[in-house]
Structure 1
């Protein structure tokens, strides 16, 4: 099965450089070897159909036309030993705390700017910095980040680095659950001799974190809703799944109304007061009075109610200023400044192209680097130098010279790989991991997360909109935690 599988020159999640399965993959490897090629192909097809039957889809938009797709699924899991996961958990908790303190600071004292650690213009000129709407607003628990989705990669030595912080509306939590569900249904053999940390009670941690943000006088029996832009949103399945799992009402903007700075949900029994809104709508569309007047998705008067402390909005408004790709370069300094600690998991080295020295060096080495637009996501407006044509490199050179503040550059890291099976054979594919950090009165990190895989051979882009897929992520239990899967 793996005779033609090559690990070099990358760090492989499953195999050692000499082609032997790593200790934590040995049992899994033994099980795979018992399947015939026909059985593997049949199981692979059954898994893909399972996603289709359940309606687990996302929408890709191209030229204003939306196409619904199922997330391609690969059955070879990413397995993380408990001692390794402990480091990830601590690193993600530390990073989310520092980023939250930064957000609280930029909307209040701005001490980190006064100290000269984060440049003033990166905050003030940031399109996601909402000074007028958020300056001085006290959010529940002083917590701007209820849910963070932090993307990790591993380099050629197996060392973790943070690639990106998603602090506005991180998506993908539903896929973590569905990947596990499909694995258990289609490949039950894998779980017999493995002690994997369960996802079963994780939704209760998420729900508790939501309810922790209730306004003080409404703590006794708060009412929370999940606000969606509607069924045409690319992540609508995610919204439906989360609302169902937590027993929350799924609402659209037209289902809510603000009276005397109090938010209510319309129901057949009349108006019901809303205390917490877990929103999956971008800031700009939340309230036509405060942001875009043409928004038909939001709720008129919502920001006034929020500023008065009568409703909690999760994640907080204005978080985009902290997950900007240029601000990202300063997160290690935030950790040192706010927490007095060294980063447990560090950034990828980042060049800021509005710095003349960085820009000059990057323009000379474009064919070796990855260049990203600080305002883009999903793998768009990105240059991967070693895989790019001369024409594309020259196009990006012009873009950088014209608007240097709009781009950052990073070395091309040899992203770790793992085996993928897509109906015919096993081949190595690049992977990353989105870790979900839930923050209420306490912080909880979901064990595992969403492993994303670049299923096109040789591709470095894991985003589902660019041909990427998902894998189940297993965190093994410590020996004393027992042996139940």
Structure 2
């Protein structure tokens, strides 16, 4: 597989930023990798692809797709060719995400206390009042160190101009970090020589950083804080990740039935009696956390947990009520938050967003649906998304009726041609569209990012939908300093 043969076979998309090929040459950051791959034939690549699948299977690296109320467990598809980003590009991404998280954290503190940003008219009051994820029960709660967004996954895409844009903010219970870590471990197995000679920054310290932050969030007088991960249980789509992180950090994985509140303190039931819990890294959504406050029929949460949280007797990660800040309608105001709270211009730009609660924006979206994607403001995983360039007329008429019934629940954005990267598919190296989810950890010592993240791949040719629940896969993400040329 010579580089020359590879270039002849590789057909990149017009009007799309290809991260490997600039229409004339392989970009410098990919040059070293392909100078080593050229020594491998198709059978060798196929064997490595097969080995990667076996490693994922043996490790039980799965996720669950829900269809017709049934959960189908699947191996997470993995592409063996790494996605490569230069150190300079990453440094800009890092600065942009740190800036964004500082502003979003200040917004959450403000919105649950003084609400100055609403009084000053920067964010419309009615937008927050109509947000289903604004948690009134969290109003006035003081959280440790005023940090709400301890763990975030900020989804980025790269446009046809080569610049990174923020697609959405995931500030509640962002998932996928275990796949980022496992992708790196699998790459070490299948391409050990390439990885060791490519100046790739490490991501393996993520569990250690997370554990340090969880310890720091406990009350200062506690010498040996007890930390647990609260999972909804084995039927949750991200259960593998919950068990993975518990093992990596050496903390207990618990379900709601394992915890009890007594005298405004949280305890876990052990064979030796009750043991007080100081920090809960929860992977349970707000509405299921406490049946005395939220969903009364929830079996996933802990009765009385919110009152304990309000009294400061337990830290909850992420904070209760964060959903208001990653509502897709509120997303449009993040650049204004950055200017308002930090007096800075945004480093990373949003995608232009039309609030369909605005009659003029709704009229524009309906007239230009072929060029737009319409998203439900309170759904994730690629669900509730309408690709205007591919929806048929009957489905569009049905969707349009739903949108016009409650336009607050929808936003529209231009369809962006996501950047492409090389993937090994059906014995050939082919371009596929990708996004990127870097993970940031926010603790008392500041914000830290592991250099990389989860690259999600739209494995179907021409598709722009990268979500695993919609048939997407992932690949290892390399941040390379001083790319080596041939």
Aligned to 1:310: 313
Aligned pairs, how many?
A: 477
Identify the match of residue 171 of structure 2 among 157, 167, 173. 167
Are 1:181 and 2:185 an aligned pair? yes
Please list every run of at least 4 consecutive aligned residues from structure 1 whose deviation after the TM superposition is greater than 4 angstroms.
Answer: none
Are 1:108 and 2:113 an aligned pair? yes
Are 1:411 and 2:414 an aligned pair? yes
Are 1:149 and 2:146 an aligned pair? no
Q: Secondary structure at 2:8's aligned position in 1?
A: coil
| Equivalent-residue separation in structure 2 for 1:296 and 1:21 (angstroms) | 54
Aligned to 1:28: 33
| Equivalent-residue separation in structure 1 for 2:292 and 2:138 (angstroms) | 14
Q: Secondary structure at 1:34's aligned position in 2?
A: coil
- After superposition, residues 333-372 of structure 1 pair within 5 angstroms as 333-372=336-375
| Equivalent-residue separation in structure 2 for 1:429 and 1:416 (angstroms) | 8
| Equivalent-residue separation in structure 1 for 2:102 and 2:407 (angstroms) | 30
| Equivalent-residue separation in structure 1 for 2:291 and 2:101 (angstroms) | 30
Cα pair 1:40 1:423 within 8 Å, conserved = no
Aligned to 2:278: 275
| Equivalent-residue separation in structure 2 for 1:76 and 1:11 (angstroms) | 18
Aligned to 1:198: 202
Aligned to 2:3: none
| Equivalent-residue separation in structure 2 for 1:192 and 1:269 (angstroms) | 47
Cα pair 2:417 2:464 within 8 Å, conserved = no
Are 1:70 and 2:75 an aligned pair? yes
Q: Secondary structure at 2:241's aligned position in 1?
A: helix
TM-score (norm 1): 0.96
Aligned to 2:103: 98
Q: Secondary structure at 1:14's aligned position in 2?
A: coil
Q: Please state how far the C-alpha of 1:396 moved relative to its aligned partner.
A: 2.6
Aligned to 1:56: 61
Q: Please state how far the C-alpha of 1:376 moved relative to its aligned partner.
A: 1.1
Q: Please state how far the C-alpha of 1:60 moved relative to its aligned partner.
A: 0.6
Q: Give deviations 1:42-63, integer Å, cap 9, x for gaps.
A: 1111111110111000011111
- After superposition, residues 63-462 of structure 1 pair within 5 angstroms as 63-131=68-136, 133-218=137-222, 220-441=223-444, 442-462=446-466
Q: Give deviations 1:336-380, integer Å, cap 9, x for gaps.
A: 000000000010000000111111111110111010011111111
Q: Secondary structure at 1:304's aligned position in 2?
A: helix
| Equivalent-residue separation in structure 2 for 1:397 and 1:384 (angstroms) | 13
Unmatched runs of 5 consecutive residues or more in structure 2: 1-5
Q: Please state how far the C-alpha of 1:468 moved relative to its aligned partner.
A: 0.3
* Farther-moved stretch of structure 1 (121-130 vs 231-240): 121-130
Q: Secondary structure at 1:3's aligned position in 2?
A: helix
Q: Give deviations 1:439-471, integer Å, cap 9, x for gaps.
A: 011210111000000001111100001010011
| Equivalent-residue separation in structure 2 for 1:390 and 1:5 (angstroms) | 35
Aligned to 2:22: 16
Cα pair 1:45 1:423 within 8 Å, conserved = no
| Equivalent-residue separation in structure 2 for 1:241 and 1:288 (angstroms) | 27
| Equivalent-residue separation in structure 2 for 1:201 and 1:64 (angstroms) | 37
Q: Secondary structure at 1:217's aligned position in 2?
A: coil
Q: Give deviations 1:256-302, integer Å, cap 9, x for gaps.
A: 11110011111111111110000000011111101111011111111
Q: Secondary structure at 1:288's aligned position in 2?
A: coil
Unmatched runs of 5 consecutive residues or more in structure 1: none
Identify the match of residue 471 of structure 2 among 448, 467, 473. 467
| Equivalent-residue separation in structure 1 for 2:168 and 2:140 (angstroms) | 27
Aligned to 1:3: 8
Q: Secondary structure at 1:89's aligned position in 2?
A: helix
Q: Please state how far the C-alpha of 1:478 moved relative to its aligned partner.
A: 5.7
* Farther-moved stretch of structure 1 (378-387 vs 148-157): 378-387
| Equivalent-residue separation in structure 2 for 1:192 and 1:224 (angstroms) | 35
